[in-house]
Structure 1
Amino acid sequence: MSDSAAVVLDVLDDLRNESDELDRLVAELDDAGWTRPTPAPRWSVAHQIAHLAWTDTAALHAVTDPHAFATETAKALAAPDTFVDAGADAGAVLPPAVLMAHWRERRESLQQALRAAPAGARFPWYGPPMSATSMATARLMETWAHGQDIADALGAVREPTARLRHIAFIGVRARDYAFAVRGLTPPAALIRVELTGPGGELWAYGPEDAAQRVTGPALDFCLLATQRAHRADLAVEAHGPDADRWLDIAQAFAGPAGQGRKPRRA
């Protein structure tokens, strides 16, 4: 097995584990639990799971049926402000058992498709084409982020795991995108990112001699980069003006600039 193939399988294993953890969180919910509002405006717990199933379906089409994916892309371009909500709305009205079965089938089909993908293959997406590793990593990031919305709605506390390293990596890689999507020029300065993983280990990105740094717990950085918590409520620190500006707008996901969350602290 090549190193690149091993990396894909590692991410896919983590994606499966992340999905299974979220599955256990919602599997026994009653009807009231499924309709409970989450921090995302207008979205219930059912909307969150419906969105994951919808996005898994889009990813599956991108991997196995580019023509079907192109059709969905055309729909997105025709209604850029509503197509994501429309997908969630359509799934949220399904009976919970049906919705869960659909989500389980879609995510497992995507797992198998990515595991069978030829080495070096790239797949169309709403932004640049993605490799199998990038596709799996993006799905893990979304599963974790929407799972956080659900956990917040249910008052559940999730233990952070080493799977956060994938989300942190995307958050760091997306630094320039966060500026560009807002019409801002990305800073030329190099920024060192040093995060403390769940087990106390150091996750570092960027040159050690960079003049500017971002430091803090990996969990807090992931919450910030997925816009699941406001910077004021997190222990992520910026050292330098460009690093400081970045933390105000960080986002690990593609698409328009997100609205983020309001601070909990007064």
Structure 2
Amino acid sequence: MTLLDDLLADLTVEGDRLWAAVAGLDADGWATPTPAAGWTVATQIAHLAWTDEVATVAATDQDAWEAIVLDAVADPMGYVDAQALEVARLAPEALLARWGAARDGLRAALRDHPARERMPWFGPPMSPASMATARFMETWAHALDVYAALGVDPEPTDRIRHVAHLGVRTRDFAFGVHALEPPAGEFRTDLVAPSGDQWSWGPEDAAQTVTGSAWDFCLLVTQRVHRDDTDLVATGADAERWLTIAQAFAGPAGEGRPPR
């Protein structure tokens, strides 16, 4: 299997797990508020469906993508949320069907896209593998909000390595969206996976380091937890600053979550 095959397989499993959690909900269940202010279970699924659709457009239709960008430029801070809220108006059966079609369409588009050819996005252009990683990250993160709303305790798995990798790779992006100069040197990031394995990025002799739970790190870079509520340990002022602004998703700086 190729890297893309592995990514799409993990994306499918993560999406299937979320699908199983919402497929049997009644209208009240879909209207359950989630930890994201103003977003219900339906809004979370609508966001995933819309973003999968837009990612498919980015991979397959340049003209349609440019039209989406023009719409987004008119409301850069609210455009994506507005799309999620609009799609969430669908009846539950229609919303679930739309998300299912979007998932299938995205997988097909990424498999058919030339592996070395980047596609446009709201952040930096992406290869098919990078886009699959980003879609995994968002599916996992938004699923956490749905599980919290429904009282479901998700089982941590080593599939979150994709999120951790993206979190490390987006360090400089996180500084940039806060109008800060990225640190000159690499950090060393050592994380303990749910399985107990050790995951590491960066040079062993780096002056600044981040260590701790991979689960907490992934929650942090998707802004599902406050810095103070993690077990992460930063050595160095820049590393500590990173943990207060980390953001693995494209777009403006997120608001994060309040401390518990």
TM-score range, shorter chain: over 0.9
Is 2:7–2:133's contact at 8 Å kept on the other side of the alignment?
yes
Deviations 1:64-122 (A, max 9, x none): 11111111111001111221121111111111111000000011111011112223121
Q: Secondary structure at the match of 1:122?
A: coil
> 2:43 — aligned with what?
47
Is 1:214–1:238's contact at 8 Å kept on the other side of the alignment?
yes
Q: Which moved more, 1:93-102 or 1:182-191?
A: 182-191
The alpha-carbon deviation at position 231 of structure 1 amounts to: 1.2
Q: Secondary structure at the match of 1:216?
A: strand
2:220 to 221, 224, 242: 224
Structure 2 residue identity aligned to 1:137: T
> 1:151 — aligned with what?
147
> 2:26 — aligned with what?
30
Instruction: Give the Cα separation in 2 of the matches to 1:225 and 1:181.
Output: 14
Q: Is 1:182 the equivalent of 2:178?
A: yes
TM-score normalised by L of structure 1: 0.95
Q: Secondary structure at the match of 1:123?
A: coil
Unaligned runs of 5+ in 2: none
Unaligned runs of 5+ in 1: none
Instruction: Give the Cα separation in 2 of the matches to 1:230 and 1:101.
Output: 34
* Cα RMSD for the two superposed structures: 1.1
Structure 1 residue identity aligned to 2:102: R
TM-score normalised by L of structure 2: 0.97
Q: Is 1:62 the equivalent of 2:69?
A: no
The alpha-carbon deviation at position 217 of structure 1 amounts to: 0.9
> 1:92 — aligned with what?
88
Deviations 1:9-68 (A, max 9, x none): 111111111111111111111211110111111111100000000001100101111111
Structure 2 residue identity aligned to 1:104: G
> 2:131 — aligned with what?
135
Q: Is 1:171 the equivalent of 2:171?
A: no
Could you tell me the percent identity over the aligned residues?
Answer: 56
Is 1:151–1:157's contact at 8 Å kept on the other side of the alignment?
yes
Instruction: Give the Cα separation in 1 of the matches to 2:211 and 2:68.
Output: 39
The alpha-carbon deviation at position 209 of structure 1 amounts to: 0.9
Is 1:189–1:242's contact at 8 Å kept on the other side of the alignment?
no
The alpha-carbon deviation at position 128 of structure 1 amounts to: 2.2
4+ runs deviating over 4 angstroms: none
Q: Secondary structure at the match of 2:34?
A: coil
